[in-house]
Amino acid sequence: MKTSEEKFDHIVHRMQTDRSVDAPLSAIKYSKDLFKGKLTLARPSLLRRIAAVMNIDLASNRPAFGERSGSDDKVRQILFDAEEYAIDMRIKESENGFSLRGQVLGYGFENGSVELVSSSGSKTEKLDEFSEFDIIGLAAGEYSLVVRGSHSEIFVEKFSL
Amino acid sequence: MNISPGDHIRSILESASVEAADAALVLRCRSDDQSAWDQLVDRYQRLIFAIPRRAGLSEEQASDVLQDVFLTLFQKINEIDQPERVRSWIVTTAKYKTWAVIRSAKGFYSPLTEEEMELEMASLRDKRPLPDDVLIEIEEQHLIRTALSSIDERCRTILSMIYLRTPAASYLDVSKAIGVGETSISPLRSRCLQKLEKVLRR
């Protein structure tokens, strides 16, 4: 059994040898923002919910590795990983605003739905038999997205148009 | 000074008040309480970040581990069987993810599941770079920081000035900072250490 003095010595020793530092603010912000996606997209659901993580963000006119050249269109391509699934998303800017085309890569999302949420409201579209979607006439801003399939739903916490 | 983990340490690591506070945060997160999640992140970010850093990972790699741990916690928040043991869950997850980064950087096969990783780690003779005593030390430091932030401001100032500054503040400096006579500092210091120890013991 330690005496009080030994206990205090131990606590003081641990305090004085504590070299830990706070994590970078960006990492803390990312971690806190994970929950905002949940609140935005929360729905009573028995589906498995999967958070998508951005894998590649290719700005327009920048060819992806293995491609011969970038497209002339102002298309931005973003790839998200979501466990065994992935979402390939293309954002195109035109005179009428932004369009968002995408495809869920993986089984179970055929004829599902996609919901796009922003601070001004939400918009839901059907996925086709190839799990593709196309949403047009979008204003610039920050959006969250959820795609729902037969067993799972994938949410993209936040991205900007 | 020869410091080794003993009964007292184990009792710190099993502090019921800390576990109850952790459990309350997890349950509030399950009820979609953003402020509880923010508190959980604030409470554990430094502990998690310390684990890969102590294992020798870069700041960027440690940030990735931190984000990955919180992403996993976010995904499994409703599945954690014992919410009061969330700290152990966090430390174990951070340890696995740190190992995965190290093994992947060395070109080794990285087990895909926690169970697989646990079996793999149990079979290792050399536990470096994250031996258990290092993890215990990191966890204890986390608990002492948490306890220090929960005691009154005057005690926090006294203990921080005497024990956390380099060089340590003199009793005269401390007495000026808190507005008491210099001769009061030694008994105050002892009382504050008792308070801190009491919080850790609860």
HEC secondary structure over B64-98: HHHHHHHHHHHHHCCCCCCHHHHHHHHHHHHHHHH
Q: What is the dihedral of CA A15, A19, A25, A28, to 10 degrees?
A: -70
What's the confidence (pLDDT) of residue A44? 43
The answer on pLDDT for B123 being more than 70 is no
**Mean pLDDT per 10-residue segment, chain A (161 residues):** 78 91 91 76 59 76 49 75 88 87 86 84 85 90 87 84 83
Between the ranges B36-50, B54-68, B109-123, where is the mean pLDDT highest?
Answer: B36-50
Q: Which of residues 55-84 of B touch A (CB under 8 A)?
A: 59, 62-63, 66-67, 70-71, 74-75
Chain A residue closest in CA terms to B194: A8
Nearest-by-Cβ selection for B38 from A11, A15, A32: A32
Contact state of A15 with B159 under an 8 Å Cβ cutoff: yes
The answer on pLDDT for B170 being more than 90 is yes
Q: How many CB pairs under 8 A join A and B?
A: 108
Tell whether B90 lies on the interface with A, counting CB pairs under 8 A.
Answer: no
What's the confidence (pLDDT) of residue B87? 92
Tell whether A139 lies on the interface with B, counting CB pairs under 8 A.
Answer: no
Residue with tokens 């993986």: A106
Nearest CA to CA, how far is A73 from chain B (Å)?
Answer: 33
Q: Which residues contact A145 (CB under 8 A, 6 or more apart)?
A: A114, A115, A116, A117, A155, A156, A159
Chain B positions in Cβ-Cβ contact with residue A9 (cut-off 8 Å): 1, 3
Name the pairing type of β-strands A85-94 and A132-138. unpaired
> Whose CA is closest to B94, among B70, B128, B116, B123?
B70
What's the confidence (pLDDT) of residue A69? 47
Round the average pLDDT of chain B to a whole number and report it: 83
Tell whether A32 lies on the interface with B, counting CB pairs under 8 A.
Answer: yes
CB B30 within 8 A of CB B48: no
Tell whether B192 lies on the interface with A, counting CB pairs under 8 A.
Answer: no
> Whose CA is closest to B51, among B91, B85, B81?
B91
Tell whether B159 lies on the interface with A, counting CB pairs under 8 A.
Answer: yes
What's the confidence (pLDDT) of residue A36? 79
Split at pLDDT 50, 70, 90, the class of B1 is: very low
Rounded to whole angstroms, the Cα distance separating B89 from B48 reads: 11
Q: Which residues contact A27 (CB under 8 A, 6 or more apart)?
A: B45, B49, B63, B66, B67
The answer on pLDDT for B50 being more than 90 is yes
| pLDDT, tens only, B172-200 | 999 999 999 999 999 999 999 999 988 88
Chain B positions in Cβ-Cβ contact with residue A40 (cut-off 8 Å): none
CB A51 within 8 A of CB B74: yes
Chain B positions in Cβ-Cβ contact with residue A21 (cut-off 8 Å): 46, 49-50, 53
Residue A134: strand, helix, or coil: strand
Nearest-by-Cβ selection for A34 from B70, B144, B196: B70
What's the confidence (pLDDT) of residue B113? 65
CB B137 within 8 A of CB A16: no
Chain A positions in Cβ-Cβ contact with residue B140 (cut-off 8 Å): 14
| pLDDT, tens only, B63-98 | 999 998 999 899 889 888 889 899 999 998 998 888
Chain B residue closest in CA terms to A17: B141
Amino acid sitting at position B139:
E
Higher pLDDT, B13 or B51: B51
Sign of CA dihedral B104, B108, B114, B117: negative
Nearest CA to CA, how far is A51 from chain B (Å)?
Answer: 7
Contact state of B6 with A20 under an 8 Å Cβ cutoff: no
Tell whether A2 lies on the interface with B, counting CB pairs under 8 A.
Answer: yes
What's the confidence (pLDDT) of residue B5? 44
Listed in sequence order, the DSSP H helices in chain A are: 4-16, 25-41
Tell whether B176 lies on the interface with A, counting CB pairs under 8 A.
Answer: no
Contact state of B48 with A27 under an 8 Å Cβ cutoff: no
